Structure 1
Amino acid sequence: MYQDHVRSTFPHVWSRDSLFRSHEFEWKLTQEERETLKFVLAPTDTGRQFHTVVLQGSRGIGKTALLRKLMLAWSDGSIYQDRFSYVFYLCCREVRQLASTSLASLISRDWPHHSTPLADVVSQPERLLFLVDNVEEMSGDMAGPPSDLCSHWLEPRPGKVLLRSLLAKSLLPAAFLLLAVTPQCRGELLSGLQDPSVKTVLGFSRNSKKLYFGSLFSNKRRALEAFQLVNRNDRLFSMCQNPILCWLVGTSMKQDMDRGRDVALTCQSVTSTFISFIFNAFTPNGAAYPTQQSQEQLKNLCSLAAEGTWTHIQFFNQEVLGRNGIGDTAIPTLLDTKVLRCRAPENLYGFPHKALLQFCTALFYLLQHPSAHPNPAVQCTRTLLLTVLNRNRSSILLGLFLFGLLNERERQKLDAFFGSNLSRQRKEELEQLLQNISGCADFHPQVDFLVLFYCLSEIQDDVFAGQVMACFQELNLTFLSSSDLGMAASYLKHCYNLRKLCFSIQALFRGEDPRTYRTRQNFLYWSQICSVLASSEHLQELQVVDSSFTEPTLVIFCHQLRQPGCRLQKLMMNKVTMTCEKLAFFEVFTHNPGLKYLRLNRMALSWDDMKLLREALNHPMCGVEGLLLTSCHLSEAAWELLAQVLISNCRLLYLDVSINILGDAGLKQFCDALRHPSCRLRSLRVFECLITAAGCGDLAQALVSSQDLRCLQIGSNAIGDAGVKLLCEALVQPSCHLETLGLQICGLSSACCEDLAYALTGSRTLQDLDLSCNALDHNGLAVLLAAVSHPGCALKVLRLKHMELGEETQALLTAVQERNPYLRVISQ
């Protein structure tokens, strides 16, 4: 009886908010969905049975539709018929609004007759399946003491407490739960569940998209034509993974076919598809142009969208609609055209998908001035642009629409629809905004330039792209997909004034089959990206971060670095792995004498790697002057190789081996090299290298013997007062030419201040001393400040930690600075 009721009643109830218009497709499980559901609640290979399964997926990806299809399939006996006696569908949004109810009441409300056999229903809880939808609505409700939960199915409680009790297994713990939730709320939700299994809903597969197009078009030839056109546009085809967007794309094409338009133009870009959908919705059947009333309705809809974007509200009450010019008489029309949908029972209205809201928001900025919006939360175009280009890519579609609406062909449609010529003016304003923000120092770390590339691709104007990208001298790119590679390959060539490039390729090429079309395409994109290294006449600095190179990608990369046209001076590799022989990489430095600075940070370098590096640095064509091997897990044997380089390579002036286990033994090898007459090193940084006071004896001898060493950074090593004493004895020697000394976080006390004062008054060269993050009291600092006031002291910069300076010390410091205006004390 219950199954018959579900089968005959529920589709009519659910169809009230249906968008698809194709009920057969909406209510019937596809074969792929059947295969998926077959394993969702099945025991694992080890026999483990999960009683709570979480289906996570973005809004509109099809979670609700899958739950509803499952319930109807169970009702007609085609799935889980031998597994579950009863299946119940609960919507969190509806249930949590109930002031008081019980699980028995919730079950009874969907029963076909008044007398529900409740005792029979709950007698075998292990044969019950609850489909719980919109669980993200429980955000904030899952916290609370266990005493708040109810444990009996007849016990009346507030709706949100009842739901929490069911999810936490306080109610019917043996029953099965299948929950639908958005990924953003998954973390909070999981903490309140007992042993859940998490599955991801991916939306329409390629076959599902094809089936849907077939159900949307009555003419199969037209359906195939439309599907093939969408299949050729990667961006549109990817969007159609979302069922609602698949409906929107298919509807746009069907309506244009019905009106005799060229559908190839409809799906030429994402923007053109949405323009067709919106313009068809607001143009009466048989008419070439909209009425003035339709134009106003669309402008009001765009105003509503802008408010929703900036207030982060997706569903609006009638007061908000009215504030944006949408009165009671306009609502039925907007519902009929499917640009708005009603959410019962709250009587709220919203866009069918966030993408449509973002399209209408972009259109608002072309049609109206944001300062005139009735809600002050709506921001100016500049703020919108910065939001669009933010690195989290959450508003990338809004950016695509904002730029895409300025495409020449789409601008003509806009001007014809609204009878104005605003779009050309907006294009010039957008270019000016991009030029202005390109010079902002705070802009570059926050922007995702790949988003900008995607936006430029939507406008399809190479001249405009060149004008925009010529404004930027620095780019930071993170390649997350093949599409990202393609965008960079297309638009890096427009960056005529590029001086600094930072990129990350992560694991895009790892494990790919080089015989596949996609992999070959990726290698082509990668070659085009790397060609910028040799073709850009202004590019001087390259940073590669958090990346993984396979042999083919490394060979392509290094080939461009070796070209005569490569003008790079700085190459920085941070957290980069090379799953291959590194010979090609190190050979770059034997062919490109223009590379002066090499930084290898957080790279695991083996003994063989270090030998290759030594050979490269000793090559007569190598021009490297500054070398960093920071946090590279260097072994003891590596120090001998680097010491040999210091002796044989007179071009190497700066060496940083911080955050490695150098120790006193490794330092001794460096010091022996520093004392060699052919060593020309000017700066040595050994920060956090496990050096003790014992190592400072060798270092002191090197300071006295080296003719070129000017900077020593030995911070974050436990050298203590005893180590500083040895260094100070060297600093006063006439043959010591050190100018900068870093002793931060070295375990120093005020006992060493006398030695430091002695060095400050005796050294003719020391100009910069860093003592920050050491336990120096007022008496010790008083001794130091007395020394810096001495006429023979050459110090110009003294660095101290701010917390070390009490009122008395601060007063003394102020007096010293007044007497010595050339001294800068920096409190970090």
Structure 2
Amino acid sequence: MTDEGCSAVTSALKSNPSHLRELNLTGNKIGDSGVKNLSDLLMNTQFKLEKLDLCECSIAEEQCLILTSALKSNPSHLRELNLSKNKIKNTGVNHLCDVLKDSHFKLERLRLSSCKMIDEGCSAVTSALKSNPSHLRELNLSGNELGDSGVKNLSDLLMNTQFKLEKLDLCDCSITEKQCLILTSALKSNPSHLRELNLSWNKLGDSGVKNLSDLLMNTQFKLEKLDLRKCSITEEQCFILTSALKSNPSHLRELNLNWNKLGDSGVKNLSDLLMNTQFKLEKLHLCNCSITEKQCLILTSALKSNPSHLRELNLTGNKLGDSGVKNLSDLLMNTQFKLEKLDLCDCSITEKQCLILTSALKSNPSHMRKLYLNNNEIKNTGVNHLCDVLKDSHCKLERLSLRNCGITDVSSLTQSLTNTKALQFLKELDLRNNIIGDSKQQLIDVLRDSNCKLSVDTDPSPEVPDRVQSQEIPGVQSTKDDML
């Protein structure tokens, strides 16, 4: 929607304001008239909106001023506000801060991701929250530069015992080692409330990792989700972190170490942790961690001894090797192992290894919902083995991704989806970057009236032989490449 459409919606709501509790206009251009009508609505005391999502709505600083002025006049109902991916910058943030300071404003979730804020803006937000700390439970400042003053104010806030934040997202905030030390020190003084922490894409450094590890060892710190993607964590730092988790293992449910080098000692410590029956991890992400075949063997052996909790496993971009694939397959056959999502993209999996994996899945097919095998040489033989899984009446796979797998014929896959119950469950099938030729049309025909979204490529045109072209058909869709 553009200005006119958003204006029509918000104008209509003005005539019947008393019931709406959630409004999501994400990804539309609200425009001046839409913002004006929405602001009139927000000022209406009969309008008791609790959740407002305006992510990526092309809201500028001046429009942010109009919206926040409206919120100031009727502040008591809103509980969730998302202004992410708007260019509100420091000026717009200053107006928002006036609302955040109001004791009648009882916001519980505030998302300001990628709002082009720098030091001054982040400092203003965190300073404003210091004067009204008791309600907020979720704060997302990812993609903004906190700077020294922003980190200082946020740290003061985190130390306040009235501040009971449960979820903190500081991904890609240009946090330095010194700033990380200040933040983690603050958390150490008020550790009991936080449940989710995202510090990904920041350089924690030795002191930051050490302080975070001290925090993880604290039995009062009951963190459930820890995201440290792309934090330049070294083998030694990984050893320190996993050692800390070993001393306080019972709370963590999700661990993301993507794009860090675990090394032998990190893998060994993590494996010890995975074997601990008190450690009930549900999601483990180790994408592009330079894991070797030997290390993969150690990790999967550890999971075999404590298999009942894990639901998601991401080993993308690592070389599993024959022993790693064999151990993982033994794990997949275990009826206590109820994995729902497995990501093995770019793992150098061969046709033979694919046979071993799919044979394992055939023996315990009822739990897997998402399987990603992109960028492996599984070829037609591997697809044929996967078809045996799909034919099983217990198979309830919802997403299957085989992008760039050297596949040239999908007739067996088409037959599997035609003659089994698999199509009742399958929602997404990605076959992009495979030259599947004549068998493609038959698959398209089978899926045309289903609920399954198929991503395929057209054959490159003679004029642009190197360009992959996407084909979109009703019921058959193409999607943009996903970020890792």
For the residues of structure 1 that align with 2:157 and 2:343, how far apart are their CA atoms?
38
Which residue of 1 is the match for residue 55 of structure 2? 444
Pairing partner for 1:632 from 221, 231, 243: 231
- Tell me, yes or no, if structure 1 residue 598 matches structure 2 residue 197: yes
The 8 Å contact of residues 554 and 585 in structure 1, kept in 2 or not, is answered as yes
Shift in Å, 1:797: 3.6
Which residue of 2 is the match for residue 743 of structure 1? 344
Shift in Å, 1:677: 3.9
The 8 Å contact of residues 754 and 783 in structure 1, kept in 2 or not, is answered as yes
Which residue of 2 is the match for residue 546 of structure 1? 144
- After superposition, give the CA deviation of every residue in 1:605-658 in whole Å (9 maximum; x if it has no partner): 112211100111111221211111100000111121122133212212211100
For the residues of structure 2 that align with 1:668 and 1:579, how far apart are their CA atoms?
26
- Tell me, yes or no, if structure 1 residue 821 matches structure 2 residue 424: yes
Between Structure 1 and Structure 2, how many residues are aligned? 400
The 8 Å contact of residues 646 and 681 in structure 1, kept in 2 or not, is answered as no
For the residues of structure 2 that align with 1:441 and 1:456, how far apart are their CA atoms?
11
Which residue of 2 is the match for residue 107 of structure 1? none
- Tell me, yes or no, if structure 1 residue 431 matches structure 2 residue 30: no
| Structure 1 pair 611–468 and aligned structure 2 pair: CA distance change class (3 A) | closer
For the residues of structure 1 that align with 2:132 and 2:268, how far apart are their CA atoms?
39
Pairing partner for 2:214 from 615, 623, 639: 615
For the residues of structure 2 that align with 1:524 and 1:669, how far apart are their CA atoms?
38
| Structure 1 pair 561–487 and aligned structure 2 pair: CA distance change class (3 A) | same
Shift in Å, 1:597: 0.6
| Structure 1 pair 688–778 and aligned structure 2 pair: CA distance change class (3 A) | same
For the residues of structure 2 that align with 1:701 and 1:664, how far apart are their CA atoms?
15
Pairing partner for 1:557 from 138, 150, 154: 154
Alignment of 1:37-76 (within 5 A): none
For the residues of structure 2 that align with 1:742 and 1:820, how far apart are their CA atoms?
21
For the residues of structure 2 that align with 1:463 and 1:611, how far apart are their CA atoms?
42
Which residue of 2 is the match for residue 120 of structure 1? none
The 8 Å contact of residues 123 and 151 in structure 2, kept in 1 or not, is answered as no
For the residues of structure 2 that align with 1:811 and 1:640, how far apart are their CA atoms?
47
Which residue of 1 is the match for residue 269 of structure 2? 669
Pairing partner for 1:500 from 105, 110, 116: 110
The aligned amino acid for 2:99 is: Y
Helix, strand or coil at the partner of 1:784: helix
For the residues of structure 2 that align with 1:468 and 1:773, how far apart are their CA atoms?
51
| Structure 1 pair 766–383 and aligned structure 2 pair: CA distance change class (3 A) | same
The 8 Å contact of residues 798 and 824 in structure 1, kept in 2 or not, is answered as yes
Which residue of 2 is the match for residue 62 of structure 1? none
Which residue of 1 is the match for residue 98 of structure 2? 490
For the residues of structure 1 that align with 2:286 and 2:350, how far apart are their CA atoms?
21
Pairing partner for 1:651 from 248, 251, 255: 251
For the residues of structure 2 that align with 1:622 and 1:486, how far apart are their CA atoms?
33
For the residues of structure 1 that align with 2:170 and 2:73, how far apart are their CA atoms?
29
- After superposition, give the CA deviation of every residue in 1:772-797 in whole Å (9 maximum; x if it has no partner): 33333233211121134335x55534
The 8 Å contact of residues 449 and 475 in structure 1, kept in 2 or not, is answered as no
Which residue of 1 is the match for residue 374 of structure 2? 772
The 8 Å contact of residues 599 and 627 in structure 1, kept in 2 or not, is answered as yes
Helix, strand or coil at the partner of 2:304: helix
The aligned amino acid for 2:421 is: E
Alignment of 1:117-132 (within 5 A): none
The aligned amino acid for 1:763 is: N
Which residue of 1 is the match for residue 415 of structure 2? 812
For the residues of structure 2 that align with 1:379 and 1:794, how far apart are their CA atoms?
46
Which residue of 2 is the match for residue 699 of structure 1? 299
Larger radius of gyration between Structure 1 and Structure 2: 1
Pairing partner for 1:585 from 183, 192, 215: 183
- After superposition, give the CA deviation of every residue in 1:726-785 in whole Å (9 maximum; x if it has no partner): 311333245645443221222223222220122112337742332233333233211121
For the residues of structure 1 that align with 2:421 and 2:395, how far apart are their CA atoms?
16
* Higher RCO, Cα 8 Å, sep 6+: 2
For the residues of structure 2 that align with 1:449 and 1:498, how far apart are their CA atoms?
24
Pairing partner for 2:240 from 612, 630, 641: 641
- Tell me, yes or no, if structure 1 residue 530 matches structure 2 residue 108: no
The 8 Å contact of residues 58 and 87 in structure 2, kept in 1 or not, is answered as no
Helix, strand or coil at the partner of 2:141: strand
The answer for unaligned runs of 5 or more in structure 2 is 11-24, 431-454, 456-484
| Structure 1 pair 561–826 and aligned structure 2 pair: CA distance change class (3 A) | farther
The aligned amino acid for 2:379 is: D
Helix, strand or coil at the partner of 2:421: helix
Alignment TM-score, normalising by the size of structure 2: 0.69
Helix, strand or coil at the partner of 1:608: helix
For the residues of structure 2 that align with 1:604 and 1:610, how far apart are their CA atoms?
10
Helix, strand or coil at the partner of 2:198: strand
Pairing partner for 1:684 from 261, 284, 288: 284
| Structure 1 pair 801–541 and aligned structure 2 pair: CA distance change class (3 A) | farther
- Tell me, yes or no, if structure 1 residue 756 matches structure 2 residue 357: yes
For the residues of structure 1 that align with 2:194 and 2:89, how far apart are their CA atoms?
28
- Tell me, yes or no, if structure 1 residue 454 matches structure 2 residue 65: yes
Alignment TM-score, normalising by the size of structure 1: 0.42
Task: Name whichever structure is richer in helix by fraction.
Answer: 1
| Structure 1 pair 736–603 and aligned structure 2 pair: CA distance change class (3 A) | same
The 8 Å contact of residues 589 and 617 in structure 1, kept in 2 or not, is answered as no
Deviates more, 1:652-661 or 1:762-771: 762-771
| Structure 1 pair 756–556 and aligned structure 2 pair: CA distance change class (3 A) | same
Which residue of 2 is the match for residue 728 of structure 1? 329
For the residues of structure 1 that align with 2:235 and 2:123, how far apart are their CA atoms?
41
- Tell me, yes or no, if structure 1 residue 714 matches structure 2 residue 315: yes
Helix, strand or coil at the partner of 2:143: strand
Shift in Å, 1:702: 0.9
For the residues of structure 2 that align with 1:485 and 1:382, how far apart are their CA atoms?
23
| Structure 1 pair 571–456 and aligned structure 2 pair: CA distance change class (3 A) | closer
The answer for unaligned runs of 5 or more in structure 1 is 1-377, 404-425, 510-521
The aligned amino acid for 1:489 is: C
Deviates more, 1:554-563 or 1:652-661: 554-563
For the residues of structure 2 that align with 1:808 and 1:826, how far apart are their CA atoms?
14
The 8 Å contact of residues 719 and 746 in structure 1, kept in 2 or not, is answered as yes
Which residue of 2 is the match for residue 189 of structure 1? none
For the residues of structure 1 that align with 2:410 and 2:71, how far apart are their CA atoms?
62
| Structure 1 pair 696–797 and aligned structure 2 pair: CA distance change class (3 A) | farther
| Structure 1 pair 816–532 and aligned structure 2 pair: CA distance change class (3 A) | farther
For the residues of structure 2 that align with 1:702 and 1:567, how far apart are their CA atoms?
36
Which residue of 2 is the match for residue 801 of structure 1? 402
